Structure 1
Amino acid sequence: MKTLTIRRPDDWHLHLRDGAVLEGVIADTSRHFARAIIMPNLVPPVVTAQDAVAYRDRILTALPQGDRFQPLMTLYLTEGTDPDDVAAAKESGLITAVKLYPAGATTNSHGGVRDIDKAMPVLERMAEIGLPLCVHGEVTTPEVDIFDREAVFIETVLDPLRNRLPELKVTMEHVTTKDGVDYIMGSSGNLAGTITTHHLIINRNAILVGGIRPHYYCLPVAKRENHRLALRAAAASGDKRFFLGTDSAPHVDPLKECGCGCAGIYTSPNTMSCLAHVFEEENALDKLEAFTSLNGPAWYGMAPNEETMTLVRQEQPVSYPSKRDTGAGAITVFDPMFPLHWQVVE
């Protein structure tokens, strides 16, 4: 296969940041993606409907002229979140989901949830009104090894929550383990998972072998090779419970290349080329459209995009910039460590 035409894709987990970084990176998403669920972990976070309106307006203002892109807004769940504000935001069409960050789990998550019981009034209202919960699925207790955080979260937080509130629709974001894949596949309903571009390509060796490589460091951290293979099998299976959420997370280089570097990998510019490469390796190019363009809208109750995207496999590797320059500084673009031959042409 040399040419592949699919419905225009969506990104169901995206960080755009704010200010000069937002202005510098938004075109990399709006060029290829019709919609994206926007993460709310700004400083300060997007906690209320009023916050979400203001952030959405800043995103739309930063869009290149003529780009047709819809930011799907979320609220940052806290133990003091007002259920009425959440319900009103959902009713108005302002928000698509609410995001649960366990406090301290990742970038700008210090204001997240420490005691899930204190968030139950909001979660119960969300279950009533059919508003999905997006979860960063890791525990943050210091005695749990960082490579086990996802599995322990499933056992101690997510499964009890779903048993307690089975009608709540949960998106387990950036699944990184076979444990997560198996848990989603074994569920009876109301559970789906996003998978990132980079977790389909790297394992933890990319971070640590030959020196510490900060531009492959993300949270949840990349795991062993058997987990990466499980993610690839799930993504390429066509299973409707798995779909793309890039978790593309821009940080300027000085914040990555320092003694305590930020977690996050910036994949928006070359994600579609990377994914076509992965799905070709899996002999599953016929399943790429489901993963990028069909399963996510179905899960969130939306129609797939009418516009299409065409990718062409060319002999010479596709060239992408190694860095994206922004008004806040340079941001390193994800290097998959192999040549990319699939190019988005329209």
Structure 2
Amino acid sequence: MTAPSQVLKIRRPDDWHVHLRDGDMLKTVVPYTSEIYGRAIVMPNLAPPVTTVDAAIAYRQRILDAVPAGHDFTPLMTCYLTDTLDPDELERGFREGVFTAAKLYPANATTNSSHGVTSVDTIMPVLERMEKLGMPLLVHGEVTHADIDIFDREARFIETVMEPLRQRLTALKVVFEHITTKDAAEYVRDGNELLAATITPQHLLFNRNHMLVGGIRPHLYCLPILKRNVHQQALRELVASGFSRAFLGTDSAPHARHRKETSCGCAGCFNAPTALGSYATVFEEMNALAHFEAFCSLNGPRFYGLPVNENLR
């Protein structure tokens, strides 16, 4: 006999990190997110990136136009930080409710990040403005130096960029996005109430063996890259503990199949259709379903200062 299925009811979740792309791909993937999530923090790494209020408004409308009838979904827009971004433009977008947060990509760290920041010092006036506004900074936390091993880039970022930045701007609100290492889990856990983290389903479910042993599995290739088991386990233990400053961020990142299954494939896992069930599997495996709703539906709104969704999922 098969065991009876278990039904979980939680407040409608939010996705605090998603890539919706643009054009035909946007029209294809948006419904997978809007069906499940009430809100989503939308990444700005288009080509060209979203760096102005007008560009964000136009992109938000394209997203809304792709939401099917009957889906109640709010895209939360972000500004792509560049070396030349005008702090006044960023502040205008935040005060007018267009920008919810700003995204720091180190230059060339991931897909469409060539316009990213070359040095934190270069954008210090922007970051100081964000600190004064209480505007969250979303960080892709990897160094990009060629001499740093790809598996060490997150840990090195904490040491050389993240901690000096947070020491310098002590009131800056920071989300350490898609953390992948024991180092990052411990850093966020030991931080103050101004530091939070998102965690993807793939980094909870898989480690680098799943991607590389027995054949290369390109659909598990993402950045930051999957790490060894000890890091995967640290992430699982963090979410299972009920830690309140970790929350759902799928980092769902679609690519055309021919751009994944190729000799030089793109980084990114399209997980929007399956992410919520994947997270539930992890929480069940860790005997932590009591903390599942908070991770999916409560911790993120609390950190961002937004109301929780009232309807159930």
Shared fold (TM-score greater than 0.5)? Answer: yes
Instruction: Indicate whether 1:252 and 2:240 are aligned.
Output: no
Unaligned 5+ residue runs, structure 2?
A: none
CA distance in 2, matches of 1:178, 1:80: 34
Instruction: Write out aligned runs for 1:223-242 (5 A).
Output: 223-242=227-246
Residues 176-202 of structure 1 show CA distances to partners (whole Å, capped at 9, x for unaligned) of 000000001111331000000111001
Instruction: State which of 49, 52, 58 in structure 1 corresponds to 2:56.
Output: 52
Instruction: Write out aligned runs for 1:40-79 (5 A).
Output: 40-79=44-83
Is the contact between residue 177 and residue 223 of structure 1 (CA under 8 Å) also seen in structure 2?
yes
1:204 maps to 208
1:119 maps to 123
Superposed displacement of residue 137, structure 1? 0.2
- Structure 1: which 4+ aligned runs deviate by more than 4 Å? none
Is the contact between residue 195 and residue 246 of structure 1 (CA under 8 Å) also seen in structure 2?
yes
Is the contact between residue 236 and residue 291 of structure 1 (CA under 8 Å) also seen in structure 2?
no
1:30 maps to 34
Is the contact between residue 184 and residue 192 of structure 1 (CA under 8 Å) also seen in structure 2?
yes
CA distance in 1, matches of 2:239, 2:189: 12
Higher strand share: 1
TM-score between both structures, scaled by the size of structure 1: 0.88
Identity of aligned residues (%): 58
CA RMSD, 1 decimal: 0.8
Count the aligned residue pairs.
309
TM-score between both structures, scaled by the size of structure 2: 0.97
Q: State the SS of the aligned residue for 1:176.
A: coil
Instruction: State which of 275, 287, 305 in structure 2 corresponds to 1:283.
Output: 287
Superposed displacement of residue 3, structure 1? 2.1
1:100 maps to 104
CA distance in 2, matches of 1:200, 1:106: 20
Q: State the SS of the aligned residue for 1:243.
A: strand
CA distance in 1, matches of 2:93, 2:122: 21
Residues 290-346 of structure 1 show CA distances to partners (whole Å, capped at 9, x for unaligned) of 10000000000001100101xxxxxxxxxxxxxxxxxxxxxxxxxxxxxxxxxxxxx
Residues 56-115 of structure 1 show CA distances to partners (whole Å, capped at 9, x for unaligned) of 010001111121100000000001111011111110111110000000100000100011
Q: State the SS of the aligned residue for 1:305.
A: coil
1:156 maps to 160
CA distance in 2, matches of 1:284, 1:244: 15
Instruction: Indicate whether 1:190 and 2:206 are aligned.
Output: no
Q: State the SS of the aligned residue for 2:8.
A: strand
Instruction: State which of 178, 185, 190 in structure 1 corresponds to 2:182.
Output: 178
Instruction: State which of 4, 23, 26 in structure 1 corresponds to 2:8.
Output: 4
CA distance in 2, matches of 1:233, 1:96: 29
Is the contact between residue 137 and residue 153 of structure 1 (CA under 8 Å) also seen in structure 2?
yes
Instruction: State which of 107, 114, 122 in structure 2 corresponds to 1:110.
Output: 114
1:16 maps to 20
Residues 231-264 of structure 1 show CA distances to partners (whole Å, capped at 9, x for unaligned) of 1111122111100100000001111111210000
Superposed displacement of residue 210, structure 1? 1.0
CA distance in 1, matches of 2:8, 2:30: 25
Instruction: Write out aligned runs for 1:292-311 (5 A).
Output: 292-309=296-313
Instruction: Indicate whether 1:262 and 2:257 are aligned.
Output: no
1:326 maps to none
Is the contact between residue 135 and residue 172 of structure 1 (CA under 8 Å) also seen in structure 2?
yes
CA distance in 1, matches of 2:162, 2:247: 19
CA distance in 1, matches of 2:130, 2:170: 12
2:146 maps to 142
Residues 143-194 of structure 1 show CA distances to partners (whole Å, capped at 9, x for unaligned) of 1000000000000000000001011100000000000000011113310000
CA distance in 2, matches of 1:255, 1:4: 36
Residues 19-76 of structure 1 show CA distances to partners (whole Å, capped at 9, x for unaligned) of 0000001111011100000000000000111110010010001111121100000000
CA distance in 1, matches of 2:240, 2:14: 17
CA distance in 1, matches of 2:40, 2:193: 23
Superposed displacement of residue 214, structure 1? 0.6
1:325 maps to none
